[in-house]
Amino acid sequence: MNEHYTEKYFYSRIKLHIDIFFPSCIYYSMKTYREIINKWPSLISLSKDVGIHPNTVAVWRHRDSIPSKYWEAIVQTETGKENKVTLETLASISARRRA
C-alpha cells in the first residue's frame, strides 16, 4: 500500500461508497416522526413554521405521527433543511409503520 494515502482519503472513499449504495433515507438516523419533531427547539417553533396550533404538534409527538399533508411544509422549513428532513425520510417512516 502506498504510504501517501492519508486517513482522510480513506474516510472520504468510505463515505462515497456509503452515499452511493445506501441513500440517506435508508441510513439516516431519523426513524420515527417523534425524532423529526424533536429536531425543532420547541413545539411552538415547529407549529409556527408549519402554520398550525402548538397543541396539534403536541398530539403529533404523542402519537408519533405527522399527517402527510404537512410533510412538504416540514421539509421546506429552515430546521427541516438543516436536519436533512426529506419526503423520502418521512415516507420511509410511514412505510415501516405499515409493514
Q: How far apart are CA 50 and CA 10, in angstroms?
A: 41
Domain boundaries, the chain: 29-98
pLDDT tens figures, 41-55: 999 999 999 999 999
Of 8, 49, 33, 38, the closest CA to residue 93 belongs to 33
Whether 82 shows a pLDDT value over 60: the answer reads: yes
Of 93, 66, 87, the closest CA to residue 75 belongs to 87
Provide the CATH number for the domain formed by 29-98 in this structure: 1.10.260
- For residue 96, name the pLDDT band (cuts at 50, 70, 90): confident
Whether 87 shows a pLDDT value over 50: the answer reads: yes
- For residue 23, name the pLDDT band (cuts at 50, 70, 90): low
Mean pLDDT of the chain: 83
Contact 73, 81 (CB under 8 A): no
